[in-house]
Amino acid sequence: MMRQSYELINAGDWDGFSALIADDFFEHEQPPPGIAPTKEGVLQYFAMARAGFPNLRFEPEFVLVDGDKAAAYFRFTGTQSGEFMGIPPTGKSVDVRGVDIVRWGDDGLGHEHWGVFDAMTMMQQLGVVPQGAPA
């Protein structure tokens, strides 16, 4: 289900992706301003990401399953050729890592999500946040 979710997002198939998300879905990761931690909010976020990065790709590098939860370590790539979170198109490419954890119900739907995404590196790669000196 995790891999299928990424495939649907990569294809921009919002109907297919929406069909994998429960109506009572809750997002535990801090959503961007103006985005609700709900099914509708998740769909809104990915539509916004796709508009900003029309060639976006989420590639799960590995997926682990424990009971009703699946965790994926993923790579996000794309070129920002549209507005994203108020940032005008930069024409720059990003290559960032993250982790998604989803609780799947017996109904086969995602009911909860926890995630970590390296947004700082993405903003640095887009040139909207200066890169610091190496640690």
Fold type of domain 2-126:
Nuclear Transport Factor 2; Chain: A, (3.10.450)
Q: Domain residue spans in the chain?
A: 2-126
The Cα–Cα gap between 60 and 81 comes to: 23
pLDDT of residue 19: 98
Q: What is the pLDDT of residues 82-98, one digit of tens each?
A: 999 999 999 999 999 99
Backbone angles phi, psi at 129, to 5 degrees: -130, 130
Question: What average pLDDT does the segment 28-54 reach?
Answer: 94
Residue 81 reports pLDDT greater than 80: yes
In tens, the pLDDT along 11-30 reads 999 999 999 999 999 999 98
- 22 burial type by CB count under 10 A (0-12 exposed, 13-18 middle, 19+ buried): middle
pTM of the complete model beyond 0.85:
yes
